[in-house]
Structure 1
Amino acid sequence: MTSFAELTTMSVGGPPERLVEATTGDKLLAAAREAFSSDEPWFVLGGGSNLVASDEGFPGTVIRVGTRGVEVLEREADDAPTDVRIRVAAGEPWEALVALTVERGWSGLEALSGIPGSTGAAPVQNIGAYGQEVSETVVSVDFLDADTLDFVRIPRANLGLAYRTSVFKPGPVDPARRGVVTAVEFRLSDEGGLSQPVAYDQLARALGVPLGARVPLADVRARVIELRASKGMVLDPSDRDTFSSGSFFTNPIVARDALDGIPVDAPRWETEEEPQDRAVPLGQTPAPPPARTPSPVKLSAAWLIEHAGVPRGFHLPGSGAAISTKHTLAITNRGGATAEDVAELARYVQSRVAAEFGVVLQPEPVLLGLHL
């Protein structure tokens, strides 16, 4: 019986009760409608790169999205002369899509090279890296709603895209919109083989150009993959640091009045996102999210973890899970780890950062049957 350990990049987790492989659009819709109409639990699985499932598995149906295809769409009236619209099947591997767009000279996704997973999951998580987010290029999402069984096309304005979240993920107040993404439409740009303006300092340095420069797409892609590989963020069967779910914690976004306990040398960036985490006095329960204040601040989760006394390579005694030897933001399966090993280490990291800085780190991957 296939287990989540075989279906995820973290390589932990027990088997689902029932696994359905949906390799065509019709099979995906049929499987989803059957699951949504039943009284049994269900779960939609993409590439498995942002999921940690429990050792007990899942007591229901798992629909694994394996659809493929990239369609170039006709130009619309509001398109700029350089615009290129594509509609991509949800199961198309993300890295293969980015490689294709770079090869064809379409910019907009190049800084998102090397990210594992599927295209349908990209807007759910609003993936981002090196100065780009998928929200910048998404036009709409085709979606089968689990509660109404309606097949709808959701425009970008209604997707609730923000830092590592969307309407498909539960928020502090609103529940997640339940269903399955079947396709995603993107608007890219043909700038004669040049990238979008480089918007991330580390990438600009690696390219040897100033921020805002446009460079050949292939150069951006190559440097991004090199940077990700140096942090263990590019899948490599020979490197245990890559047996992870990528960044395990999101960078906390806090209101300015929560910065008293944060050292002045801690990296921070102003942001327009809603505060998600806040500092709290040691021993107290975090309060509900505060009202929006001007210019909240995004902190570096990796910096907080390392300066809370959790170094690279750290592991709890007897555990198969460890902090990556390349990057403190990743929890890795060093071999033989269980899902509970991963969760236990994550809880330890949370407790150390909360004790040291009063910031509650939030997990980035989906936790199926696990709780921190």
Structure 2
Amino acid sequence: MSTQRLADLTTMRVGGPADETLTAHTRDELIERSIALWERGDDWLLLGGGSNTVIADEGYPGPVLLVRTSGIEQVADPELSAGSIRIRVEAGHDWDALVAECAERGWAGIEALSGIPGMAGAAPVQNIGAYGQELSDVLHSIEFLDAATYEPRRMLAAELELAYRDSVIKQGLEGVVLSIDLVLADAAVGAGEAGPEPLSEPIRFAQLATALGVEQGQRMPLRVVRDTVLRLRASKGMVLDEADHDTWSAGSFFTNPIVTERFARGLPENAPRFPVSDGEPEVAVTTFDELAAGQPLRTPPTPRERRVKLSAAWLIEHAGVPKGYRLPGSGASVSTKHTLAITNRGAASAADIGELARFIVQRVQQEFGLVLVPEPNLYGIEV
């Protein structure tokens, strides 16, 4: 047990001390220490890589448990289709190290998620995504330590209700992710020393396809896709670099707003818009067997207004907050490479981060009539 500044444990590099800091290096330690903290009855903070967390200058008023488990193993699964593999990743395993190893082994499905900081256990909480891939595309299940029962249980991906940067865990299901299971394509099958390199999943994102010089839907060698994604992220200050203050951030500070198509029509014509799928339509048919059983006729569902996703970065820049913007006297600024990131220029306080975030929210609301929602977990900071 120890105490240390949380600024040293988060990528934004702000935050005062924790009352108490504990570390779990194994699955059993993670279970044991989580249960012990729940039994104490006090609020406590689970912290992985600290890449999606901003903590107040006053610190965290309770224990902080650091997840430092690691490991990847293949899981036998007779239900898998040919050419697929299932792997289990411990919650504290570095996410980008996982992507790098998968690319090296010829396992496709998460290559576009290269360079995302943080640890594997946080991935399903946030349903991480980038460049046309999301964790929900490949997540099979998680092992979850339930705070209500103190028992580990397996939760299938469908039970997590994964959505854009959202899940039932993020919405309040209390517990600890112990490990995650992914189903990936074994692209190394048929690719030997003299054969072709293992190929990625189809490229879905226009910017990535352009950078690769291919059409959307084509495949490219896994390592080429990973390297290209890392270059794209680095150009936006989204790959951690000690010497680059644009990377002293929590990544994207705001989620891309999802609005109705009607609302989007009121925005400037050049405002980027991306269609949002609302899933399968509801069933509006009643079978003869159901009628015979006394079930009433189903009524057709009310048509749901189409929704679109907007670009928070575009909204921020066109609300008059350019790259590199800094409030007078502040140690925080908008990234010089990307308007979606708020950065620590070396001596920022958490108060500086919060003040700039509130300013951005106000400017976008005044200009476009919508409220941006922070993506990182904020403790002791109001936006």
Number of aligned residues? 350
Give how far 1:255 is off: 1.1
Whether 1:35 and 2:40 are equivalent positions in the alignment is no
Amino acid corresponding to residue 184 of structure 2 in structure 1: L
SS at match of 2:73: strand
Aligned residue identity for 2:346: G
Alignment of 1:277-316 (within 5 A): 293-316=304-327
Partner SS state of residue 262, structure 1: coil
SS in 2 for 1:186: strand
Residue 189 of structure 1 is aligned with which of 185, 190, 215? 185
Deviation per CA, 1:137-168: give whole Å up to 9, x if none: 11001111112212111001100100001111
Secondary structure in structure 2 of the residue aligned to 1:184? strand
Structure-2 residue corresponding to 1:61: 63
Q: Which has the larger radius of gyration?
A: 2
Shift of 1:40: 1.1
Which residue of structure 2 aligns with residue 18 of structure 1? 20
What corresponds to 1:338 in structure 2? 349
Pairwise CA distance, 1:3: 1.1
Q: Percent of aligned positions with the same letter in both sequences?
A: 54
Q: Distance in 2 between matches of 1:10 and 1:344?
A: 15
Tell me by how many angstroms 1:74 deviates: 1.1
CA distance in 2, matches of 1:20, 1:64: 6
Query: Residue by residue, what CA displacement relative to the aligned partner does 1:73-98 show, whole Å, maximum 9, x if unpaired?
Result: 1132x211111100000000000000
Q: Are 2:334 and 1:323 aligned? A: yes
| Distance across 1 between alignment mates of 2:305 and 2:221 | 37
**Deviation at 1:260?**
4.6
Find out whether 1:177 has 2:173 as its counterpart. yes
What CA distance in whole angstroms lies between the structure 2 residues aligned with 1:74 and 1:54?
A: 44
Q: Distance in 2 between matches of 1:356 and 1:221?
A: 37
**Gaps (5+ residues) in structure 2?**
189-197, 280-301
- Please give the alpha-carbon distance, in whole angstroms, between the structure 2 residues aligned to 1:347 and 1:326: 20
User: 1:213: Cα distance to partner?
Assistant: 0.3
What corresponds to 1:361 in structure 2?
372
* Contact residue 233 and residue 242 of structure 1 kept, 8 A: yes
Partner Cα distance (2:304, 2:360) in 1 = 28
**Residues in 1 aligned to 2:159 and 2:369: alpha-carbon distance in whole angstroms:** 34
The answer to whether structure 1 residue 202 and structure 2 residue 207 are counterparts is yes
CA contact (8 A) 1:249 1:329 kept: yes
CA distance in 2, matches of 1:295, 1:224: 31
- Contact 1:3–1:15 (Cα < 8 Å) also in 2: yes
- Moved segments of 4+, more than 4 Å: none
Deviation, 1:261, is: 3.4
Q: CA deviation at 1:273?
A: 5.2
Counterpart of 2:271 in structure 1 is 266
What's the TM-score, normalizing by structure 1?
0.92
User: Is 1:136 matched up with 2:132?
Assistant: no
**Runs (5+) with no aligned partner, structure 1:** 171-175, 275-290
SS of residue paired to 1:120? helix
Q: Cα 1:344–1:292, aligned 2, differ >3 Å: closer, same or farther? A: farther
- Residue by residue, what CA displacement relative to the aligned partner does 1:97-140 show, whole Å, maximum 9, x if unpaired? 00000000000010000111000000100000000001111100
Equivalent residue in structure 1 for 2:8, among 2, 6, 9: 6
Contact 1:24 1:67 in 2 (8 A): yes
Aligned residue number for residue 213 of structure 1: 218
In structure 1, how many angstroms separate the alpha carbons of the residues matched to 2:265 and 2:207? Answer: 28
